[in-house]
């Protein structure tokens, strides 16, 4: 059952906002995607599992990380847990390329990318004021490049999910950033980029974003403002950042929670909303923004979900993807407490245990 405005033939001229600004802009976007190296074909994917990570993800603040409330090495710690606990073999992990300026221009304006050359702009976006004092090349190497690697990971995840039915980027999920503006620790709009690449290169035309980070996903909501090929289910604490009322108008299924919401109420609501979503839209790809800042004790999210509740939440979403027969991309998004990496690794392990994802490489499983 498709949304009223959908046609099963895929996007039409009217449905795509880029076309209304002129075909050349759309053409430029298509060219950039066509020339990108992010969907590389030389990955020897048969020996890999669609779990994406690079040691280049981790951010160094030259000691300034001590001033930051976040665990900026979260991504590497998730990988360490998964490898040391033998959930996945190190050599099975897919390493992405870094997104280039040309890749980022698929969604971002040149003005926005230029603004990131200013230390104070980056410091404001990532909410670490002392970063404004660092030399430009340090900001680029220690902060922007790790984010670009993660963006490359999210974009690649779209391709791998289509081929393998699921993909998890251990980073990404920068849902406060849109094409023209960053904020809330989000410098690049990886979710929008992943979806635009999928539309253009994978022949997909109906994507559902399920955003379960504690915060409202105002970045992708702004980017897809006039694009009905995307259905947005966003469940967030309405009493915290970003209070973006204009972006809220774009949400197809808006679920506003209050601070202090606990496991049972949260999971019951999620089940109800997923059931509703099933009747509203038939996606050919799901983009799952799986922030762990809903965890009890997270100073930013202010919800009270337990580690077991996070595993259950992720399980629900992966079951939903299987029921609607859509490939799923998961990104880890917000949640930078010291405990977040442990919780994410445990949840991925739970998905394996419940057979919702298979961590067998294609070549290994075909030899059985």
**Catalytic residue ranges:** 176
Contact 77, 343 (CB under 8 A): no
Min dist CB 361 to Zn ion, Å, is 33
Task: Select 206 or 302, whichever has its Cβ closest to Zn ion.
Answer: 302
- CB of 234: closest distance to Zn ion in angstroms? 11
Q: Give the number of residues in contact with Zn ion, rule: CB under 5 A.
A: 6
CB-based contacts of 41, cutoff 8 Å, min separation 6: none
Q: Integer distance in angstroms from the first to the last C-alpha of the chain?
A: 38
CA–CA separation, 26 vs 342, rounded Å? 42
CB 177 within 8 A of CB 150: no
For the bound state, the minimum distance from the C-beta of residue 185 to Zn ion, rounded and expressed in Å, comes to: 8
Nearer to Zn ion by Cβ, of 277 and 337: the residue is 337
Cα atoms in the Cβ-side hemisphere of radius 13 Å centred on 204: 27
d(Cα 50, Cα 63) in Å, to the nearest integer?
33
15-23, 304-312, 318-326, 334-342 -> range binding Zn ion (CB under 5 A): 334-342
Is position 183 an interface residue for Zn ion (rule: CB under 5 A)?
no
Q: Residues 293, 298, 312, 346: which binds Zn ion (CB under 5 A)?
A: 293
Name the H helices within the chain: 17-20, 23-35, 74-84, 101-104, 110-115, 119-126, 136-139, 145-164, 190-201, 218-223, 245-248, 263-280, 307-323, 340-353, 362-366
Of 11-19, 48-56, 123-131, 289-297, which part binds Zn ion (CB under 5 A)? 289-297
If one asks whether residue 215 binds Zn ion (CB under 5 A), the answer comes out as yes
| Contact region with Zn ion (CB under 5 A), list: 196-204, 211-219, 245-253, 263-271 | 211-219
Nearer Cβ to Zn ion (175/349): 175
Instruction: State which residue has the least CB distance to Zn ion.
Output: 334
Task: Decide if residue 227 touches Zn ion (CB under 5 A).
Answer: no
Residue 219 interacting with Zn ion (CB under 5 A): no
Whether 191 and 175 have beta carbons less than 8 Å apart is answered as yes
In the complex with Zn ion, the residue whose CB is nearer, 103 or 221, is 221
If the CB atoms of residues 50 and 334 are measured against Zn ion, the closer one turns out to be 334
Angle, helices 190-201/145-164, rounded to nearest 10 degrees:
40
334 touches Zn ion (CB under 5 A)? yes
Tell me: does residue 211 bind Zn ion (CB under 5 A): no
Nearer to Zn ion, 121 or 218 (CB): 218
Give residues 103-132 in contact with Zn ion (rule: CB under 5 A).
none
Name the residue among 280, 288, 273 with its Cα closest to residue 328: 288
Residues of this chain that bind Zn ion (CB under 5 A): 213-215, 291, 293, 334
């Amino acid at each position: 059952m498709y949304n009223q405005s959908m046609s099963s033939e895929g996007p039409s001229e009217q449905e795509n906002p880029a076309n209304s600004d002129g075909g050349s802009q759309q053409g430029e976007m298509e060219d950039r995607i066509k020339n990108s190296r992010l969907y590389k074909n030389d990955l020897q994917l048969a020996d890999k599992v669609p779990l994406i990570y690079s040691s280049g993800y981790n951010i160094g603040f030259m000691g300034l990380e001590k001033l930051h409330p976040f665990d900026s090495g979260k991504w590497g710690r998730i990988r360490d847990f998964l490898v040391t606990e033998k959930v996945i073999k190190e050599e099975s992990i897919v390493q992405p390329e870094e997104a280039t300026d040309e890749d980022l221009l698929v969604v971002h304006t040149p003005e926005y990318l230029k603004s990131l050359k200013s230390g104070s702009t980056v410091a404001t976006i990532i909410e670490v004021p002392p970063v404004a004092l660092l030399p430009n090349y340090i900001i680029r190497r220690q902060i922007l490049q790790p984010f670009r690697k993660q963006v490359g990971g999210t974009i690649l995840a779209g391709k791998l999910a289509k081929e393998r039915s699921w993909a998890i980027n251990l980073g990404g999920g920068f849902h406060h950033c849109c094409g023209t503006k960053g904020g809330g620790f989000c410098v690049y709009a990886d979710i929008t980029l992943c979806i635009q690449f999928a539309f253009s290169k994978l022949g997909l035309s109906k994507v559902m974003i399920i955003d379960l980070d504690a915060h409202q996903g105002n970045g992708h909501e702004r980017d897809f403002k006039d694009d009905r090929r995307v259905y947005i289910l966003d469940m967030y604490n309405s009493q915290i950042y970003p209070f973006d009322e204009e972006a809220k108008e774009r949400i197809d299924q808006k679920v506003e929670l209050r601070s202090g919401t606990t496991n049972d109420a949260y999971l019951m609501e999620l089940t109800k909303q997923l059931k509703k979503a099933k009747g509203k839209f038939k996606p050919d790809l799901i983009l799952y923004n799986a922030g762990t800042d809903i965890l009890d004790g997270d100073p930013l999210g202010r919800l009270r979900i337990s580690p077991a509740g996070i595993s259950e939440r992720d399980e629900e979403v992966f079951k939903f993807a299987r029921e609607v027969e859509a490939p799923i991309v998961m990104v880890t998004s917000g949640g930078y407490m010291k405990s977040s990496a442990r919780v994410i690794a445990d949840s991925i392990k739970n998905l394996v245990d419940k057979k919702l994802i298979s961590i067998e490489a294609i070549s290994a499983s075909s030899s059985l």
